[in-house]
Amino acid sequence: MFLTISATGTTGKPATDLGFLLHKHPGKAQRFSTSHGTAHVFYPEATAERCTAALLLEVDPVALVRRGQGKGRGGAPDAALAQYVNDRPYAASSLLAVALSAVFRTALKGVCAARPELPGRPLPLRVEIPALPARGGAELVHRLFGPLGWESVRTEPVALDERFPEWGDSRYVRLVLEGELKLDDALRQLYVLLPVLDDAKHYWIAPDEVDKLLRAGDGWLAGHPEHALITARYLARHKRLTQNALERLELARLAEADGSEVEELDNAVDESRDTEDRPVPLAVRRRDAILAALRDAGAARVLDLGCGQGQLLQALLKDASFTEVVGVDVSMRALGTAAKRLRLERMGERQSSRVRLLQGSLAYTDKRLAGYDAAVLSEVIEHLDLPRLPALEYAVFGAARPRTVLVTTPNVEYNVRWESLPAGRVRHRDHRFEWTREEFRTWAGQVAERYGYGVAHLPVGDDDPEVGPPTQMAVFTRATGTETTGTTETTGTTRTPKEGEAA
Ligand code: SAH
């Protein structure tokens, strides 16, 4: 199994920078032992003009068979010979992808300590794979690599046997990709698409494959026209995992369309209403209200569910009474921004032991979320389709079950006060719904009752006498003695806000 990556140099940017990016010195040939054989990395050429790194994986077919992984899809027990005589050692397949991630792990992450400016730069790259197994043929290869920013995607059929042209082509193609891409983007594409084209994943598909796929697919998979095929094949057509991944991609797509819009609108409104001194943006008032409610509840270990770009996490970390702070979001991009905002990489050990960022969908129960004092869902529920909401309710109130849950959501009645908002429009294009105060109270009351919580409602922002406050907040408190799940019998209480009750 063989793959080469070449870079062309330009003035002031020698091609040998590739060696820095790959963390492999061009002057050395190196060997790495991987779970399936020995990987070799060497540079057939390394000049300022052109530098080529080669990755060769020498697969140990006997070891593969012993591990029960040489059969490919559905190998029959009587196909004993096929176990030893198969294409695994020669074709660029999922094994090569695994070797790629093992040998070039740091490069895949787009990190280069020696030359931090390098990974951010697109390079004139050329990737060549002489024997790429392609179930679906050259046509599929083009459909997969075509939309990914390469200037040229070339495939040549590989004959089954050159001595007998009448036998036709094998299922292999020679692939050459050329274009200006960032190296980590190119590597992450290969990491996903080699096994997808091979379509015979050699290892057991574990649930964390979804995370691996989404990590490697960050920035290109969600918007890829073939994302459904890529996802299904990568996960070996495992139904539940594929569905989970597709859903998370869908959410990631929506979250990417997200961003500053909400806050801009929030800021705009408050500015028009509060002209004296410096106006306090609604987003800030919301955060202050959340912090106050968390302190009231005496919470020390806090989950920020749907943490977005981490503004609340940052505020939580400034207060030492919050001893552990965990941000969860479905969007890798949002988490990346949050990590930067918090300066996670430069944080001292003591600080960094207080904070964690997790990727995950709130529509699935997640063991990592159990045992916290409080969970915040700030402007998150309205991003879920209504039919998905019960899944989130179960995951948060039924499974994670913190003592306190804070939920904020827009009050749709207030929308008439937003001058920049056309009548009948929601505040953000990704909002699936926006509720009146009555609708929110009804929902909160039902959730509280089903899961054994009491609930109080608080306004956030100026409480307009006619239409109420711009943001509404529900504070759920778990009834004592109902720490575990399955408390569907317990009755919650709903407290309606008293007139003039402040946030
Ligand atoms: N809590 C932040 C961000 C709100 S925007 C704030 O108050 O400003 C909504 C966030 O929820 C986005 O970051 C989006 O990626 C995330 N989100 C939406 N659906 C989700 C889901 N099912 N699981 C996890 N996060 C989700």
Check which CATH number belongs to the domain holding 465 and give it. 3.40.50.150
Nearest atom, ligand 1, residue 376 CA: 1
Q: Which of 97, 93, 187, 198 is nearest to 148 (CA)?
A: 187
Q: What's the CA-to-centroid distance between 251 and ligand 1, angstroms?
A: 9
**Whether residues 195 and 293 fall in one domain:** no
Please indicate, yes or no, if residue 469 is contained in any of the structural domains. yes
**Whether residues 192 and 308 fall in one domain:** no
**Whether residues 29 and 156 fall in one domain:** yes
Q: At 58, which helix (H) or strand (E)? A: strand 50-59
First-last CA distance in the chain: 63
pLDDT band (50, 70, 90) for residue 1? confident
Please indicate, yes or no, if residue 210 is contained in any of the structural domains. no
Q: Is the CB of 461 under 6 A from ligand 1?
A: no
Q: Is the CB of 382 under 6 A from ligand 1?
A: no
Question: For residue 339, how many C-alpha atoms fall within 13 Å in the half-sphere facing its CB?
Answer: 14
Q: Is the CB of 384 under 6 A from ligand 1?
A: yes
**Whether residues 33 and 126 fall in one domain:** yes
Q: Is the CB of 308 under 6 A from ligand 1?
A: yes
Q: What's the CA-to-centroid distance between 330 and ligand 1, angstroms?
A: 7
Query: Helix, strand or coil for residue 70?
Result: coil
What are the tokens at 210? 């979804």
Q: Is the CB of 379 under 6 A from ligand 1?
A: yes
Please indicate, yes or no, if residue 270 is contained in any of the structural domains. no
Cα distance between residue 346 and residue 47, in whole Å: 35
- Residue 102: pLDDT above 90? no
Query: Helix, strand or coil for residue 172?
Result: strand
Please indicate, yes or no, if residue 320 is contained in any of the structural domains. yes
Strand arrangement of the beta sheet that strand 123-133 belongs to = 30-34, 37-46, 50-59, 2-8, 123-133, 169-181, 152-159
Q: Which CA distances in Å does 149 have to 109, 146, 410, 490?
A: 19, 7, 39, 56
The residues that bridge with 123 in the sheet, in sequence order, are 181
Contact between 177 and 156 (Cβ < 8 Å): no
Q: Among 172, 203, 234, which residue terminates a domain?
A: 203
**Whether residues 194 and 284 fall in one domain:** no
Please indicate, yes or no, if residue 260 is contained in any of the structural domains. no
Cα distance between residue 87 and residue 78, in whole Å: 18
User: 207-221 pLDDT, tens per residue?
Assistant: 788 889 999 998 899
**Whether residues 291 and 407 fall in one domain:** yes
Q: Among 177, 203, 229, which residue terminates a domain?
A: 203
Nearest atom, ligand 1, residue 334 CA: 13
Query: Above pLDDT 90, what percent of the chain?
Result: 48
Give residue 161's domain range: 2-203
314-330: b or e for each residue (b if 16 or more CB lie within 10 Å)?
Answer: bbbbeeeebeebbbbbb
For the chain, what is the mean pLDDT? 83
- Residue 153: pLDDT above 80? yes
User: 463-477 pLDDT, tens per residue?
Assistant: 999 999 999 999 999
Cα distance between residue 253 and residue 255, in whole Å: 5
Q: Among 174, 203, 232, which residue terminates a domain?
A: 203
Which CATH number is 55's domain given? 3.30.1610.20
Q: Which of 429, 435, 446 is nearest to 473 (CA)?
A: 435
Please indicate, yes or no, if residue 214 is contained in any of the structural domains. no
Quote the DSSP letter at residue 367.
Answer: G
How many Cβ atoms sit within 10 Å of the Cβ of residue 72? 18
Q: Is the CB of 363 under 6 A from ligand 1?
A: yes
Q: What's the CA-to-centroid distance between 250 and ligand 1, angstroms?
A: 13
Nearest atom, ligand 1, residue 283 CA: 8
Average pLDDT score over residue span 414-418: 85
Nearest atom, ligand 1, residue 286 CA: 7
**Whether residues 184 and 302 fall in one domain:** no
Quote the DSSP letter at residue 25.
Answer: -
Question: Which alpha helices (H) appear in 23-126, and where do they start and end?
Answer: 61-66, 80-84, 94-103, 105-108
Number of domains in the chain: 2
Q: What's the CA-to-centroid distance between 479 and ligand 1, angstroms?
A: 27
Q: Which of 226, 130, 147, 224 is nearest to 181 (CA)?
A: 147
Cα distance between residue 402 and residue 393, in whole Å: 12
What pLDDT is attached to residue 92? 53
**Whether residues 328 and 471 fall in one domain:** yes
Average pLDDT score over residue span 63-86: 47
Q: What's the CA-to-centroid distance between 407 and ligand 1, angstroms?
A: 12
pLDDT band (50, 70, 90) for residue 199? confident
What are the tokens at 460? 């956030």
Q: What's the CA-to-centroid distance between 57 and ligand 1, angstroms?
A: 41
Contact between 341 and 370 (Cβ < 8 Å): no
Q: What's the CA-to-centroid distance between 326 and ligand 1, angstroms?
A: 14
Tell the residue nearest (CA) to atom 17 of ligand 1: 306
Lowest mean per-residue pLDDT among 157-161, 343-347, 408-412, 498-502: 498-502
Contact between 342 and 317 (Cβ < 8 Å): yes
Q: What's the CA-to-centroid distance between 362 and ligand 1, angstroms?
A: 9
**Whether residues 186 and 306 fall in one domain:** no
User: 232-286 pLDDT, tens per residue?
Assistant: 999 988 888 888 888 788 777 666 554 434 444 444 444 434 444 455 778 889 9
Q: What share of the chain is helix, strand, coil (3-state, %, to 5)?
A: 40, 25, 40
Q: Is the CB of 408 under 6 A from ligand 1?
A: no
Cα distance between residue 96 and residue 101, in whole Å: 9
**Whether residues 286 and 384 fall in one domain:** yes
Cα distance between residue 450 and residue 469, in whole Å: 27
Q: What's the CA-to-centroid distance between 283 and ligand 1, angstroms?
A: 14
Quote the DSSP letter at residue 71.
Answer: S
**Whether residues 180 and 286 fall in one domain:** no
From 251, 380, 382, 406, mutation site for ligand 1 pocket: most ligand atoms within 8 A of C-beta: 380
Cα distance between residue 354 and residue 357, in whole Å: 11
The residues that bridge with 39 in the sheet, in sequence order, are 32, 57
Q: Is the CB of 251 under 6 A from ligand 1?
A: yes
**Whether residues 192 and 291 fall in one domain:** no
Q: Would the pTM of this model clear 0.85, i.e. be above it?
A: no
Q: Which residues, other chains included, contact 46 with Cβ-Cβ below 8 Å and sequence gap of 6+?
A: 15, 16, 19, 26, 27, 52
How many Cβ atoms sit within 10 Å of the Cβ of residue 207? 11
Average pLDDT score over residue span 426-437: 85
Quote the DSSP letter at residue 490.
Answer: P
Please indicate, yes or no, if residue 245 is contained in any of the structural domains. no
Please indicate, yes or no, if residue 141 is contained in any of the structural domains. yes
Q: At 19, which helix (H) or strand (E)? A: helix 17-22
Tell the residue nearest (CA) to atom 18 of ligand 1: 383
Cα distance between residue 98 and residue 35, in whole Å: 9
For 307-349, the three-class secondary structure string (H helix, E strand, C coil) is: CCCCHHHHHHHCCCCCCEEEEEECCHHHHHHHHHHHCHHHCCH
What are the tokens at 465? 């006498």
